[in-house]
């Protein structure tokens, strides 16, 4: 159960401490006093969504901690064992802090955890019912969830089996999709073979396109380059006035005096070397002039190769560096497709077996749901009679629908309801009133909570739309629920307040620091004064206070009967 709640800097609350007890804990107060803030704070620490608007104005962060006393068999303890968090002392402290920058810090028994872990632990500890949840029950997509929860472990096991089968079905269909039909396999095999042959014949080399572009540039400037080479060669060893003839003449002249000084002989040798180098350069220039660089057919081959390289790169979305990897990938796919026919036949047989198992599972789910629907109708009608709806009737209508395999099976569940004798059952959403919906949800919660094993139930104004004699019935019902677990209820009904085992007054006051919400545990006189206020008169009224005492006396007698 929830033993204590500590709130810091949430909306109008700067600091609030509250200790709760077993049984029925009632929270009441004037409109606008901050009843919703208490529930918002509890939802916050239980892991529900929250935004920064929850933080008290002018503060950097808000925090809430909740201490739960629980036994070792609680599902929350099993969740904590998986995370390695100690909970052997029978206490669980949940804490959550949110800063203005949106950061959340969650802890369980002082150990930091994710919001998902906090939420999963909290859901095993407490269940909060508010008007938004009642509205959610009007949505048909939630009806199957309620029925499945009521059906318990046998259906949960069947759903777990179905989830595995659905995963196998999805994986098998994905494998089949890789092949397609046998015709697709043959067509793809031919396509891959053509691609491999084309890539192998292309035989791209790394850096080839850049080299071809450089060659093309030379071909495009061939005449200019050839003229320059020819001019250079002619300057070196042309028929007249060439550099070579001048070097030969100079060597001859210096050779006539080389015997007179070693330095002359050295110059003669150097001129000889220069003559040889000049002759070599001239020969190289003649070779270049006659090379393929100026062959028009070579230029044409360069253009064709460049076009092929670019086509391959574009067609297969590869670079020259990726060419080899692409070829390997296609070869592997060809190996894969080589066994396509046999693999497809095997996969189709496997798919048929899975579909047969899914069909059997769907039949099992349908029967379990039909049995659960019948039992739920009996229990729910009994609960509704306890809540003053003596003529109510209910049915969980289950229809089989054809669809692709889904984790929930092939059933569509719709809650059918009638509040009055002689009226036919119709869809819940079309016929139920606000007050009836509150009682309907209370009945559902009472039934499902026994299955969940949740020790703390929180009702946020469950009495909305309820008045008169029904108010007393709801009050008695909530007290009966509270005998088996802890109940916290925010209410405006004096009948429900009079049933309190512990009563808290939510009030608002203002000082120099602004508005504040406070929570005060009431003694017997305080309870009577608050019940009198809820009745509608002043606590000092000569009529309201006696009426409050009478209501409290009646509640005491009911509780001890």
- Give φ, ψ of 88 to 5 degrees: -75, -15
Q: What is the pLDDT of residues 251-271, one digit of tens each?
A: 888 888 888 888 888 988 998
Between CA 445 and CA 510 the distance in angstroms is 38
The edge-to-edge listing of strands for the beta sheet with 393-400 is 393-400, 411-418, 426-427
Q: What is the pLDDT of residues 444-501, one digit of tens each?
A: 887 887 676 778 889 887 776 677 777 888 888 888 888 888 999 999 899 999 999 9
**Interatomic CA distance for residues 521 and 541, integer angstroms:** 23
Domain boundary among 301, 320, 339: 320
Check if the beta carbon of residue 553 is closer than 8 Å to that of residue 498.
no
pLDDT at 133: 63
Is position 82 within any domain? yes
Choosing from 284, 302, 320, the residue where a domain stops is 320
| pTM score, whole prediction | 0.63
Residues 13 and 107 in one domain: yes
Residue 177 forms part of a structural domain:
no
Sheet holding 91-99, edge to edge: 13-19, 2-10, 61-69, 91-99, 104-108, 111-113
CA atoms within 13 A on the CB side of 296: 1
If asked whether residues 130 and 214 sit together in one domain, one would say: no
**Gap between the Cα atoms of 56 and 481, Å rounded:** 35
Is residue 16 a contact partner of residue 489, using CB atoms and an 8 Å limit? no
Neighbours of 161 (CB within 10 A): 16
Q: Domain for residue 170, yes or no?
A: no
Cβ(199)–Cβ(316) under 8 Å? yes
Q: In this structure, what is the dihedral angle of CA atoms 495, 498, 502, 508, given to the nearest 10 degrees?
A: 70
Domain boundary among 320, 351, 374: 320
pLDDT score, position 236:
86
Residues ≥6 apart with Cβ < 8 Å to 2:
20, 66, 67, 68, 125, 126, 456, 486, 488
Residue 477 makes CB contacts below 8 A (sequence gap 6+) with 383, 386, 387, 442, 446
355 has a pLDDT exceeding 90: yes
In which band, very low, low, confident or very high, does the pLDDT at 503 lie, cut at 50, 70 and 90? very high
Angle CA 35–36–41, to nearest 5: 105
First to last CA, the chain: 25
In a domain, 247, yes or no: yes
Among residues 535, 525, 377, the alpha carbon closest in space to that of 471 is found at 535
- Dist CA 67 CA 97 (whole Å): 15
Q: Same structural domain for residues 50 and 130?
A: yes
Q: Kindly tell me if the per-residue pLDDT of 538 is higher than 60.
A: no
CB 539 within 8 A of CB 533: yes
Task: Please state, in angstroms and rounded to a whole number, the distance separating the CA atoms of residues 459 and 439.
Answer: 12
The strand pair at 104-108 and 111-113 is best described as antiparallel
**Cβ atoms within 10 Å, residue 502:** 17
Containing domain of residue 93, as a range?
A: 1-137+453-522
Give me the number of domains the chain comprises.
2
Residues 6+ apart with CB under 8 A from 170: none
Residue 386 in any domain: the answer is: no
Helices (H), 319-468: 323-338, 340-386, 428-431, 434-452
Is residue 129 a contact partner of residue 441, using CB atoms and an 8 Å limit? yes
Q: Which of 120-129, 414-423, 463-472 has the lowest mean pLDDT?
A: 463-472
Between CA 41 and CA 35 the distance in angstroms is 10
Pairwise CA distance, residues 284 & 244, whole Å: 15
Helix (H, G, I), strand (E, B), or coil: what is residue 470? Answer: helix
Let me know if residue 1 belongs to a domain. Answer: yes
Mean pLDDT of 148-156: 93
Angstrom distance (rounded) from CA 479 to CA 464: 17
Category of 84 on φ-ψ map: left (φ > 0), alpha (ψ -120 to 50) or beta: left
Distance, in Å, from the CA atom of 223 to the CA atom of 69, rounded to the nearest integer, reads: 97
Confidence of residue 396 (pLDDT cuts 50, 70, 90): very high
The verdict on 123 and 13 lying in the same domain is: yes
Q: Are 456 and 401 in contact (CB under 8 A)?
A: no
Alpha-carbon torsion, ordered 284, 288, 291, 292, to 10 deg: 140
Residues 130, 5, single domain; the answer is yes
348 within some domain: no
Q: Are 361 and 158 in contact (CB under 8 A)?
A: yes
- Evaluate if residue 95 carries a pLDDT over 80: yes
Q: How far apart are CA 429 and CA 475, in angstroms?
A: 25
Asked if 130 and 211 sit in the same domain, the reply is: no
* Cα dihedral sign, 492-494-500-504: positive
Burial of 256 (0-12, 13-18, 19+ CB in 10 A): exposed
| CATH number for the domain that contains residue 125 | 3.40.50.300
Q: How far apart are CA 128 and CA 123, in angstroms?
A: 9
Query: What is the structure's pLDDT at 293?
Result: 66
41 in a structural domain? yes
What is the pLDDT at residue 268? 85
* Cβ-based neighbours of 83, under 8 Å, separated by 6 or more: 108, 111, 113, 117
Element (H, E) at 301: helix 296-315
CA-to-CA distance for 197 and 316, rounded, in angstroms?
13
pLDDT band at 291 (very low <50, low <70, confident <90, very high): confident
Helix (H) or strand (E) holding 158: helix 153-179
The confidence score (pLDDT) of residue 135 equals 66
- Does 185 have pLDDT greater than 80? no
Tell me if 182 sits within 8 A of 392, measured CB to CB: no
Would you give the distance in Å from CA 379 to the centre of its chain? 37
For the purposes of burial, counting CB atoms within 10 Å of the CB of 259, is it exposed (0-12), middle (13-18) or buried (19 or more)? exposed
Which carries the bigger pLDDT value, residue 390 or residue 396?
396
Quote the tokens at residue 5.
């709640």
High-pLDDT (> 90) share of the chain, % = 35
- Range with the largest mean pLDDT of 230-239, 295-304, 374-383, 475-484: 374-383
Q: Within 10 A of 124 (CB to CB), how many other CB atoms are there?
A: 21
Token pair for residue 10?
A: 């949430």
Indicate the pLDDT class of residue 540, thresholds 50, 70 and 90: low
């Amino acid at each position: 159960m929830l033993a204590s709640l500590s709130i810091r800097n949430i909306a109008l609350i700067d600091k609030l401490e509250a200790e709760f007890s077993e049984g029925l804990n009632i929270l009441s107060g004037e409109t606008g006093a901050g009843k919703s803030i208490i529930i918002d704070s509890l939802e916050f620490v239980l892991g529900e969504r929250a935004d920064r608007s929850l933080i008290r104005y002018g503060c950097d962060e808000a925090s809430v901690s909740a201490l739960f006393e629980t036994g070792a068999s609680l599902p929350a303890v099993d969740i904590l064992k998986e995370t390695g968090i100690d909970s052997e002392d029978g206490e669980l402290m949940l804490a959550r802090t949110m800063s203005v920058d949106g950061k959340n810090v969650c802890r369980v028994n002082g150990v930091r955890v994710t919001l998902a872990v906090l939420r999963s632990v909290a859901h095993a500890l407490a269940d909060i019912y508010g008007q938004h949840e009642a509205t959610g029950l009007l949505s048909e997509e939630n009806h199957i969830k309620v029925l499945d929860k009521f059906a318990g472990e046998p259906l949960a096991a069947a759903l777990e089996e179905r989830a595995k089968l659905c995963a196998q079905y999805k994986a098998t269909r994905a494998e089949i999709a890789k092949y397609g039909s046998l015709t697709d396999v043959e067509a793809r095999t031919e396509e891959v073979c053509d691609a491999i042959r084309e890539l192998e014949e292309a035989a791209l080399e790394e850096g080839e396109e850049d080299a071809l572009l450089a060659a093309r540039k030379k071909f495009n400037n061939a005449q200019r380059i050839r003229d320059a080479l020819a001019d250079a060669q002619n300057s070196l060893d042309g028929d007249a006035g060439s550099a070579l003839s001048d070097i030969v003449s100079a060597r001859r002249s210096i050779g006539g005096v080389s015997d007179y000084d070693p330095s002359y002989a050295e110059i003669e040798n150097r001129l000889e070397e220069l003559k040889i180098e000049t002759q070599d350069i001239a020969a190289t220039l003649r070779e270049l002039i006659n090379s393929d660089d100026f062959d028009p057919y070579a230029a044409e081959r360069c253009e064709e190769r460049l076009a092929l390289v670019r086509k391959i790169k574009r067609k297969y979305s590869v670079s020259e560096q990726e060419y080899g990897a692409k070829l390997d990938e296609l070869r592997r796919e060809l190996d894969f497709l080589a066994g396509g026919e046999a693999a497809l036949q095997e996969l189709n047989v496997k798919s048929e077996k899975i579909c047969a198992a899914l069909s059997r599972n769907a039949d099992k789910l349908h029967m379990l749901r039909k049995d659960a629907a019948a039992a739920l109708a009996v229990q729910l009608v009994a609960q509704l009679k306890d809540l003053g709806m003596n003529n109510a009737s209910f049915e969980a209508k289950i229809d089989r629908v054809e669809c692709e395999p889904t984790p929930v099976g092939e059933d569509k569940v719709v809650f059918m309801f009638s509040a009055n004798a002689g009226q036919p059952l119709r869809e819940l959403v079309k016929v139920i009133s606000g007050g009836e919906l509150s009682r309907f949800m209370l009945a559902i919660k009472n039934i499902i909570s026994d299955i969940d094993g949740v020790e703390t139930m929180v009702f946020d104004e469950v009495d909305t739309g309820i008045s008169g004699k029904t108010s007393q019935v709801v009050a008695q019902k909530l007290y009966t629920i509270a005998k088996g677990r802890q109940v916290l209820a925010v209410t405006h009904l004096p009948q429900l307040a009079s049933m309190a085992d512990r009563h808290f007054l939510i009030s608002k006051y203002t000082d120099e620091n602004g508005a504040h919400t406070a929570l005060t545990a009431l003694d017997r006189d305080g309870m009577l004064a608050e019940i009198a206020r809820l009745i509608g008169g002043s606590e000092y009224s000569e009529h309201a206070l006696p009426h409050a005492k009478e209501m409290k006396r009646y509640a005491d007698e009911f509780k001890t009967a």
